[in-house]
């Protein structure tokens, strides 16, 4: 594309050319464009100079387009329509949109959040394409670069968290979806359950137990582990696995204890014979947040997606 040549063209002349092609009369074209015949004739001469072609031949029956003008008449309407679209404010019609949106999500969100908003999104916009990827250490950078549209991250609201609401990277906006808390899962008939019934469940016993842990973003430690370390404690991480369902399965088939968000525990208990225990000490809540880049704040499609996701999740958890 030669932008220097394009910059020398008055785009208004293309509108005049289209009307002349339709009317094939200077008088009718001038009237339609609310111009004098003299002004229109001057514009036509500028068009001839710019395009290096006479464009029209005067006849007894009006203006007849030259061969070059006939060629232009095939391309000009779609070109002007595209230019017209550029001047319109952005719009988004869910029912007819076939846009693609991408997500980077923490693994637990696939079970605890995705089922609540995937239906409302696709029922209102059936032609959307939704691509999702696992949340990784570079997902925030992917949001900044525009390589993904949305992030859904679950983080303990710990001051050192890299998604702490007061310390998000430049350009990253957020909306809190819901807060959760950590609980413990053990298999049915686990020896510790007898101690629980006698009220003997505390931090010391928790630390004595062997734990199964999910690696998040490649890290074995969660904010819970940093919290315990600040108090001089450390969990016995016996087994680490890459996903939540794997950890739940390990927990159901061993004496390991699994500390997990309560929202995920509801789903794990449907699949495995697990018993839920409260965390035997106070710990900060877990936040699930929707993340996006500020450049998309006012883009209609992104705004509709955000509003639909947030409302769907809020409605779902208000009934739980």
Report d(CA 223, CA 166) in Å as an integer.
Answer: 17
What's the rounded mean pLDDT across residues 31-57? 91
CATH 3.40.190.10 fits 182-284, yes or no: yes
Q: What is the mean pLDDT of residues 283-306?
A: 92
Domain ranges within the chain, ordered by starting residue:
3-86, 99-180+287-318, 182-284
Q: Quick one: pLDDT band at residue 218, thresholds 50, 70, 90? A: low
Helices 26-33 + 11-23 axis angle, to 10: 130
Domain 3-86 = CATH 3.40.50.720: no
Q: CATH topology of 3-86 equal to that of 182-284?
A: no
Quick one: angle between helices 37-51 and 26-33, nearest 10? Answer: 110
pLDDT of residue 286: 83
- Residue 121, SS3? helix
SS3 91: coil
pLDDT band, residue 160 (cuts 50/70/90): low
Token couple for 147: 């390589």
The CATH architecture assigned to 99-180+287-318 reads 3-Layer(aba) Sandwich (3.40)
Three-state DSSP state, 260: strand
Task: Classify the C-alpha dihedral 74-76-81-86 as positive or negative.
Answer: positive
For residue 253, give Cα distances in angstroms to 51, 145, 189, 257, 313: 80, 43, 11, 11, 32
- Give the pLDDT band of residue 36 (cuts 50, 70, 90): very high
Token reading at 217: 């973003």
The closest of 255, 296, 300, 287 to 274, measured between CA atoms, is 255
In the structure encoding, which two tokens stand for residue 19, read together? 């009307």
**Could you tell me the pLDDT band of residue 136, with boundaries at 50, 70 and 90?**
confident
Q: What is the pLDDT of residues 74-114, one digit of tens each?
A: 888 888 877 776 776 678 999 999 999 999 998 888 888 89
Please give the pLDDT value at position 167: 64
| pLDDT value of residue 163 | 47
Cα atoms in the Cβ-side hemisphere of radius 13 Å centred on 306: 21
Question: What span, in angstroms and rounded, lies between the C-alpha atoms of 186 and 188?
Answer: 7
Q: In the predicted model, is pLDDT for residue 2 greater than 80?
A: no
Give 285's pLDDT tier (boundaries 50, 70, 90): confident
Give the pLDDT mean for 167-193: 89
Per-residue pLDDT reduced to its tens digit, 196-205? 777 789 999 9
Stronger pLDDT, 198 or 13, i.e. the higher one: 13
pLDDT computed for residue 170 by the predictor: 81
């Amino acid at each position: 594309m030669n932008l220097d040549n394009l910059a020398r063209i008055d785009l208004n002349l293309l509108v005049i050319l289209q009307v002349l092609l339709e009317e094939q009369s200077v008088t009718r074209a001038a009237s339609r464009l609310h111009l004098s015949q003299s002004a229109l004739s001057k514009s036509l001469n500028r068009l001839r100079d710019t395009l290096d072609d006479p464009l029209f031949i005067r006849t007894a029956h009006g203006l007849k387009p030259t061969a070059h003008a006939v060629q232009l008449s095939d391309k000009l309407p779609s070109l002007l329509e595209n230019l017209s679209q550029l001047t319109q404010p952005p719009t988004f019609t869910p029912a007819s949109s076939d846009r693609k949106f991408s997500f980077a999500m923490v693994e637990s969100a696939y079970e605890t959040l995705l089922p609540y908003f995937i239906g409302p999104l696709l029922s209102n916009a059936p032609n959307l394409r939704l691509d999702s990827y696992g949340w990784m250490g570079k997902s925030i950078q992917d949001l900044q670069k525009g390589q993904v549209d949305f992030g859904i991250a679950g983080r303990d609201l710990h001051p050192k968290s890299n998604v702490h609401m007061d310390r998000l990277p430049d350009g990253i906006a957020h909306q809190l979806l819901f807060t959760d808390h950590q609980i413990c899962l053990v298999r049915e008939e686990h020896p510790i359950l007898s101690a629980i019934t006698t009220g003997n469940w505390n931090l010391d016993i928790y630390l004595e137990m062997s734990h199964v842990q999910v690696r998040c973003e490649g890290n074995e430690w969660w904010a819970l582990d940093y919290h315990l370390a600040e108090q001089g404690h450390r969990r016995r991480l016996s087994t680490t696995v890459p996903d939540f369902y794997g950890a739940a399965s390990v927990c159901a088939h061993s004496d390991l204890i699994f500390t997990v968000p309560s929202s995920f525990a509801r789903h794990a208990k449907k699949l495995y014979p697990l018993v839920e225990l409260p965390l035997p000490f106070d710990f900060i809540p877990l936040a699930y947040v929707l993340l996006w880049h500020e450049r998309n704040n006012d883009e209609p499609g992104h705004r509709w997606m955000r509003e639909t996701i947030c409302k769907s999740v809020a409605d779902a958890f208000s009934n739980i």
